[in-house]
A and B are shown apart, each in its own frame.
Chain A
Amino acid sequence: MEKFGFSLTKARVIDYDANDRSIVSYILEREPSLNLCIECGCCSAACTTGNFTGFSLREIHILLKRGENDLVRQKIRKCMLCGKCILVCPRGVNTRNVVFLAKQAFTKNEGYEF
């Protein structure tokens, strides 16, 4: 509001209970290996897209688990599905399928245009 010369800064807190985790449960039903992620960041390090941008699969996994879907919806499209992350994942998480299912989940949810 110009009247005050400043505006209310939006809270950055992740309100776990207010978030909707339908996307991550859609993924976990079909790809339970996502549970094994210990967020070591090896996938983000190997990432082809990560080479060009700040795209980080580790961060996406956590944001999905916390229900911060809006942040992920646009970012996830940057993945090239090249599969390098699967080869380096120390926990054997099928990271490529997680991205594939996430994209699917986002298109299936009405209201989420993709």
Chain B
Amino acid sequence: MNPHVIVIGGGTAGMEAAGRLARAGMSVTLIEKGKDLGGHLRDWYHLFPDRRSSDEVLEYLKGQISHQNIRLLTGQQVTGFIHKGNEFTVSTGNGDTINGDALLLATGFDLFKSERKEEYGYGIYENVITSADLEAMFRKKEVKLVSGKKPERIGFLHCVGSRDEKVGNIYCSKLCCVTAVKQAIEVKKIFPASKVFCFYMDMRMGGALYEELYKEAQEKYSVGFIRGKVSEVAVNINNRLVAKVEDTLVGRPLKMELDMLVLMAGMEMSEDAVRLAKETNLQMGENRFFKPADHHFGTNMGNVNGVFYAGACTAPLNITETISHARSAVTEIVNYLNTGRK
């Protein structure tokens, strides 16, 4: 009977890993707390850097998990697991338990709750939205202000909830810069007459074709970039948002009215994963992501033998990196199972 792997988390990493494991001859149980698979991918509209539709990647992943060796358990919340000998017993919300020879955690991430940065008025002032809200608007093909009018000036605020001591996330969430530039281009395409600004501390456009996207945003869509972290947002008498920032390259404060402000919320370890980690003493790094056994050759393993990690539960990763990380997890698991599970 071929070994049985339990994959927790049905997002990009989980689906890719499950598909690969099944094809490697393993029997797989994929447990997803949501009612359907895809994780955050379902919320995105277009993906950087080439702005292809996210549905295409979702189709690919769906193709991966349509395999007889895979058993899907959706709508089930994992409450914990017991590790005795080489066996794992995973218990879920409605009480039933699943045994497996190896455990793959692909619990992904949560977006930082932007309301925690009160000074930006998310949830308090109209038209202050997060990048996820904007993606949802793109998907619904209905980007507009609460008043229904067309926005003339849109601001993107980088580093919301990341690189920020006050909210306990000093790490950089790596993908918000490129997401902001991508969204800036998409918004400008929808409202050609609008003017789009990005308020940044550093433009971290390190991935493949990111800098080209940045240049395209400047060249074709004349997106403006202002170096300075917005300190607070208010609303003026004609109900327009007023952002206060220091234009650090000029060394003077700047006040600007905006119709719409998009907060680029950073990635955090998902709360459920944190709870699970605490209960099953899986070590977490200072940034609350799973602590890899080794930063170079052991990012898929942690401190518990037989428990593997894949995707954004170890660090902020983009879709490409998540998929490759899932594939490396599968090789680690197959290797672990074939060599006597040490």
A13 within 8 A of B: yes
B93 within 8 A of A: no
Whether A13 and B250, one on each chain, are in contact in the complex, defined by CB atoms closer than 8 angstroms, is no
On chain A, the residues within 8 Å of B224 by CB distance are 65
On chain B, the residues within 8 Å of A68 by CB distance are 250
Whether B250 and A14, one on each chain, are in contact in the complex, defined by CB atoms closer than 8 angstroms, is yes
B135 within 8 A of A: no
B66 within 8 A of A: no
Whether A13 and B227, one on each chain, are in contact in the complex, defined by CB atoms closer than 8 angstroms, is no
Whether B222 and A38, one on each chain, are in contact in the complex, defined by CB atoms closer than 8 angstroms, is no
Given contact pairs A28-B222, A35-B219, A36-B218, A63 touches B250 in the complex (Cβ within 8 A): yes
Whether A17 and B249, one on each chain, are in contact in the complex, defined by CB atoms closer than 8 angstroms, is no
A15 within 8 A of B: yes
Given contact pairs A14-B247, A59-B250, A38 touches B203 in the complex (Cβ within 8 A): yes
Size of interface on B: residues with Cβ below 8 Å to A = 17
Given contact pairs A36-B218, A59-B249, A16 touches B257 in the complex (Cβ within 8 A): yes
Size of interface on A: residues with Cβ below 8 Å to B = 22
Whether A13 and B254, one on each chain, are in contact in the complex, defined by CB atoms closer than 8 angstroms, is yes
Contact with B along A58-85 (1 / 0, CB 8 A): 1100110110100000000000000000
Contact with A along B252-291 (1 / 0, CB 8 A): 1111110000000000000000000000000000000000
From A32, A36, A38, A66, B250 is in contact (CB under 8 Å) with: A66
Apart from A33-B219, A35-B222, A65-B224: 8 A-B pairs, beta carbons within 8 A: A14-B253, A32-B219, A32-B222, A35-B219, A36-B218, A39-B227, A59-B249, A62-B249
What are 20 A-B pairs with beta-carbon distances under 8 A?
A12-B253, A13-B253, A13-B255, A14-B254, A14-B255, A15-B255, A16-B254, A16-B256, A16-B257, A17-B255, A32-B219, A35-B218, A36-B215, A36-B218, A37-B218, A38-B225, A39-B225, A62-B249, A68-B250, A91-B215
Closest 4 A/B residue pairs (Cβ):
A16-B256, A14-B254, A13-B253, A35-B222
